[in-house]
Amino acid sequence: MSTASIELVFQALADPTRRLMVERLSRGPATVSDLAEPFAISLSAVVQHLNFLEASGLVHTQKVGRVRTCRIKPAALRGAEQWFAARRTSWERRLDRLADYLAETGDPARKGNA
């Protein structure tokens, strides 16, 4: 996942309305009106959020007749999830190096504990 994309994904999810829309869509496809229903905002505002979600790559939409059906794109979610995994492994590797260092230098505190 590109830097620009992860940027947009986090920006998209930073807004509570958009995050709830993603949660809704992860349970299955929905129309624009379906998505709008739980919110006390104008349909226009919902469409703007939807456009943002589509630009971020989190959501794909398809218009048939006058109805626009929205679905999540699991790949985008997976990409964001992997960003966290990368941070975690970076952190874990550092701990490993630290452990190696302590083992090599014969850290007394480490030897003393069991």
Partner DNA sequence: GTGATACTTAAGTGGCGCCTTCACTATGTC
Partner DNA sequence: GACATAGTGAAGGCGCCACTTAAGTATCAC
How big is the site for a second copy, counted in residues (CB under 8 A)? 26
CB of 64 to DNA, least distance (A): 7
Task: List the structure tokens of 52.
Answer: 């943002």
Positive or negative, the CA dihedral 39, 77, 66, 51 is: positive
Q: Among residues 41, 55, 86, 98, which is the contact residue for DNA, using CB under 7 A?
A: 41
How big is the site for DNA, counted in residues (CB under 7 A)? 25
Q: Which does 99 bind (CB under 5 to 8 A by kind): a second copy, DNA, none?
A: none
Q: Which residues pair with 59 in a beta bridge?
A: 72
Q: What span, in angstroms and rounded, lies between the C-alpha atoms of 61 and 63?
A: 7
- Give residues with Cβ within 8 angstroms of 83, minimum separation 6: 1, 6
Is the CB of residue 55 less than 8 Å from the CB of residue 44? Answer: no
Site string for DNA, 44-83 (x = CB under 7 A): xx-xxxx-x----------xxxxxx---------------
Site for a second copy, rule CB under 8 A: 6-7, 10-11, 13-14, 16, 19, 22-23, 26-28, 72, 74, 77-78, 80-81, 84-85, 87-88, 90-91, 94
